[in-house]
Structure 1
Amino acid sequence: MMGEGRKMGRGKIEIKMIENTTNRQVTYSKRRGGLFKKAKELTVLCDAQVCLLMVSSTNKFSEYSSPSTNTKDIFERYQQATRTDIWEEHYNKMQKELAQLKDTNTRLHREISQRMGDDLDDLDIKQLRDLEQDIEDSLTTVRARKEKQITSQTETFKKKVKSSEIQHHMLLQRLQNEVEGRFYGYVNGAANEYGSLMDLAGNEAAHQPYNFRVQPGQPNLQTGGYDFHELRLS
């Protein structure tokens, strides 16, 4: 195996890190399996409580504990035997972080209260001016955002109104075309059935179609809309 050399004859094995990554991982896997096997044999043969913790160079964690114990119990027995607290440093660090978080929380609550106009007695002139400037800057940002929202909504409503006007105009034109076509057919049909139309002087009227147009009614101020369309003879 690369990384392990042997001198000729009777000599010591040279131990050093295996440079090749693949060979190093293969060696680690094999040696780890051998250690776990030895730990299990030691547990059975000697009724020992064994705990193995291993972390590879790729941060892969492996552990083994005897069936009669667990990792937590082993740590507690280790602390009792050595009279050390392996969690004390971690506990002190967590307590320090907790104190910092409490201070930050208190400071933020105080700043929020001051922005609401409370807890101002302990502030001097400079602090009051700084607070006033911060509030004005915040108001400027809020107003700018509000104006942007209003402008966007206004443009959207304008587009909707324009679209509604176009559809309204198209419907009016369509209705006018349909009404003109129906009355044109009615007049021609009546002339063909009852003979030629005569005017008051007895002269035969010209066979010309009557023209009609649709005129929108006046706005209804009470309902806010429009009355029915009026049919006018052109």
Structure 2
Amino acid sequence: MGRGKIEIKRIENSTNRQVTYSKRRNGIMKKAKEITVLCDAEVSLVVFSSSGKMSEYCSPSTTHLKGEDITSLHHRELMPIEEALQNGLASERLLEEENKRLTYILHQQQLEMDGNVREMENGSAYNHDKGREYPSSHNPFGFSLRPMQPNLHDDK
């Protein structure tokens, strides 16, 4: 008795979907191994599940492309790898410089804010005139905070 055809669409039940994925992944891995042996083909297969887990297969003649051994590669094969490495290093250096620059700016801003806080604590950030407070140019905030209720513990 033959198998019936199934409709190719997303399986809604997550348990059934996982079981089908596992069986079909194992099947395609087996097929990749068979075609490598039967046809003397170079096969590489990478499969990612919906959860992000990776499964891979590389035929024995292509395992050096996984980075385990590059001594057997020809000059023409090494050139794109070297170029990709140089591009990655240049990008890394740019990101490092940007990180240093932003860290420096953040540090400068923190020092400036610390200085402003000290000035405010010492009372030098405000000019007192007839009981009113006017922020000076050193105040980083455009407002001042006052309690909503008077302090009942102050003895005046």
Equivalent residue, structure 2, for 1:53: 46
Instruction: Confirm whether residue 21 of structure 1 aligns to residue 14 of structure 2.
Output: yes
Partner amino acid for 1:72?
K
State the partner residue of 1:153.
none
* Residue correspondence of structure 1 range 155-194 to structure 2 within 5 A: none
Question: Quick one: distance in 1 between partners of 2:16 and 2:85?
Answer: 37
- Among 110, 116, 133, the residue aligned to 1:133: 116
Counterpart for residue 66 of structure 2: 72
The unaligned stretches of length 5 or more in structure 2 are: 123-156
CA 108–22 in structure 1, closer or farther in 2 if over 3 Å, else same = closer
Structure 1 unaligned regions, length at least 5: 7-12, 116-126, 140-234
Residue 98 of structure 1 is aligned with which of 92, 96, 120? 96
Q: Which has the larger radius of gyration?
A: 1
- Greater RCO, CA 8 A, separation 6+: 2
- In structure 2, how many angstroms separate the alpha carbons of the residues matched to 1:27 and 1:61? 16
What's the RMSD between the two structures over aligned residues? 4.1
- Give, as a single letter, the amino acid of the residue that structure 2 aligns with 1:27: T
- Over 3 Å counting, the alpha-carbon distance change for 1:98 and 1:137 in structure 2 is farther
Distance 1:22 1:134, change over 3 A: same
Summarize deviations over 1:197-217 as a string: whole Å, max 9, x none: xxxxxxxxxxxxxxxxxxxxx
Shift of 1:137: 5.9
3-state DSSP of counterpart to 1:19: coil
Residue number in structure 2 paired with 1:36:
29
CA, structure 1 residues 14+90, in 2 after alignment: closer, same or farther (shift >3 Å)? farther
Question: How far is the alpha carbon of 1:66 from its aligned partner?
Answer: 1.5
What is the deviation of 1:59? 1.8
The AA in structure 2 aligned to 1:58 is S
Q: Which has the higher helix share?
A: 1
Distance 1:15 1:91 in 2: 44
Cα distance in 2 for residues equivalent to 1:86 and 1:16: 38
CA distance in 1, matches of 2:51, 2:119: 53
Q: Deviations over 1:85-122 (max 9, x none)?
A: 7778866764443232120233356678xx6xxxxxxx
Query: Letter of the aligned partner of 1:59 in structure 2?
Result: G
SS in 1 for 2:51: coil
Q: Tell me the matched-pair count.
A: 110
The answer for the alignment partner of 1:189 in structure 2 is: none
State how far apart, in whole Å, the 2-side matches of 1:138 and 1:65 are: 67
